[in-house]
């Protein structure tokens, strides 16, 4: 009977240690998963910012003609897709400012903001 109690005690200790190890591994895995999710979300935002910036350069800065309605709509949808209020607000300032000196300043601020919002 004493041997059986010793075996049960040893088995209980081993199972407790295995459970504690498994719990620690689970917590570590969850932490790594959260980190990976954040990295993925950051990269998705980066892709959206770069996509909008490339579209902006192609349609607005490199364009020789006035920006068409379809291009404006595409730019508007791309900037909204970024889902960043600060970028959207600066975009609105740029759009409303026209082609004067204020427009040039808003363009510079928008481009700087886009570059600084890219996380790496």
Decide if 69 is inside a domain.
yes
- Which residue range forms the structural domain that includes residue 101? 36-117
Q: 100 pLDDT band (50/70/90 cuts)?
A: confident
How many independent structural domains does the chain possess? 1
CA distance 111 to 91: 10
User: Which pLDDT value is given to residue 11?
Assistant: 93
User: Which pLDDT value is given to residue 22?
Assistant: 96
CA distance 53 to 75: 9
Decide if 18 is inside a domain.
no
Q: Is the pTM of this model over 0.95?
A: no
Exposure on the CB side of residue 27, measured as CA atoms within 13 A: 6
CA distance 56 to 9: 70
Decide if 113 is inside a domain.
yes
Taking residues 65-75, what's their average pLDDT? 91
Decide if 10 is inside a domain.
no
Decide if 41 is inside a domain.
yes
CA distance 111 to 82: 14
């Amino acid at each position: 009977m004493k041997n059986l109690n010793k075996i049960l005690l040893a088995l209980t200790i081993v199972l407790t240690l295995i459970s504690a190890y498994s719990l620690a591994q689970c917590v570590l895995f969850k932490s790594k998963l959260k980190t990976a999710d954040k990295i993925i979300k950051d990269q998705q935002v980066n892709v959206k910012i770069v996509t909008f910036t490339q579209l902006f350069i192609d349609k607005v800065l490199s364009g020789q003609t006035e920006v068409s309605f379809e291009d404006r709509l595409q730019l508007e949808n791309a900037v909204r897709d970024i889902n960043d209020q600060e970028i959207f607000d600066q975009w609105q300032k740029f759009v409303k400012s026209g082609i004067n000196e204020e427009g040039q300043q808003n363009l510079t601020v928008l481009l700087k903001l886009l570059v600084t919002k890219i996380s790496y």
